[in-house]
Amino acid sequence: MGRPPTNLHADVAEVLLDEERIRAKVLELGERISADYAGRELTLVSVLKGSLPFMADLMRAIHLPLTIDLMEVSSYGGAATETSGLVRIIKDLSASIDGRDALLVEDIIDTGLTLNYLLRYLRGKNPASLRICTLLDKPARRLVEIPVDYVGFTIPDQFVVGYGLDYGEHYRNLRYVGVLRPEVYST
């Protein structure tokens, strides 16, 4: 974990998605998911820690009975801004998803390596269905093709923080998604 930033907002070069745009998109995704899963038994599975704000807002935008579960994974090695592809489960599902309609909730898909691992892992738990909802998609950096069912925003290849996304574990509490100043992570 790096030195704490002294001014969160000052380290952001540009606001990519402000609070209002995020709120509107989450409501839209909630409506789509509510319509698609009407009458079914939905379980939202989110992946800590980045997806925490998105999960909290999305679950309240879905007006169906649902259950939630939380996983935490970490990738081995690699720099702070990269994913290595080797994934370790720190916290597993708390309850079985056997026979349930599972929707994996992510904050961002970058290389796709984390999700690729998680999809294989969760398919092995025998859910009735398994779909993916991500707030952000950064296709420029994709290394494995992943079928993503619900995408909030497709973003350019810039290092973003806020609304759950971190650099050195900080900036997650920003209400918006912003582009981190390069000098913050290159020094």
Question: Which positions are catalytic?
Answer: 110
Cβ 38 to ligand PRP, closest distance in Å?
28
Distance from C-alpha of 50 to C-alpha of 52, rounded to nearest angstrom: 6
Q: Of the two residues 34 and 75, which places its CB atom closer to ligand PRP in the complex?
A: 75
Q: Which residues 108-137 are close enough to bind ligand PRP by CB under 6 A?
A: 108-115
* Residue type, position 79, single letter: A
Residue with tokens 């379980």: 43
Q: Tokens at residue 163, please?
A: 């609304």
Q: Show the binding pattern over residues 148-177: x = contacts ligand PRP (CB under 6 A), - = does not.
A: ------------------x-----------
Cβ 39 to ligand PRP, closest distance in Å?
30
How many residues line the site for ligand PRP (CB under 6 A)? 18
Q: Of the two residues 31 and 53, which places its CB atom closer to ligand PRP in the complex?
A: 53
3-state secondary structure 68-99: EEEEEEEECCCCCCCCCCCEEEEECCCCCCCC
Q: Of the two residues 2 and 99, which places its CB atom closer to ligand PRP in the complex?
A: 2
Q: Of the two residues 65 and 77, which places its CB atom closer to ligand PRP in the complex?
A: 77
Footprint on this chain of ligand PRP (rule: CB under 6 A): 47-51, 75, 83, 106-115, 166
